[in-house]
Amino acid sequence: MKISARNVLGGTIKEIRTGMINTEIVLVLESGGELVSIITKDSADALNLVVGGKAYAVIKASNVMIAVD
CATH class of 7-59: mainly beta
Tell me the whole-structure pTM to 2 decimals. Answer: 0.83
Q: Is the pLDDT of residue 63 over 90?
A: no
**Residue 42: φ, ψ to 5°:** -60, -40
Percent of the chain with pLDDT over 90: 68
Instruction: Compute the distance between CA of residue 43 and CA of residue 53 in angstroms, rounded to an integer.
Output: 16
pLDDT at position 61 is 75
pLDDT at position 34 is 96
Instruction: Compute the distance between CA of residue 18 and CA of residue 35 in angstroms, rounded to an integer.
Output: 16
pLDDT in tens, 38-54: 999 999 999 999 999 99
Is the CA virtual torsion 4, 48, 40, 43 positive or negative? positive
Nearest alpha carbon to residue 36 among 47, 24, 48? 24
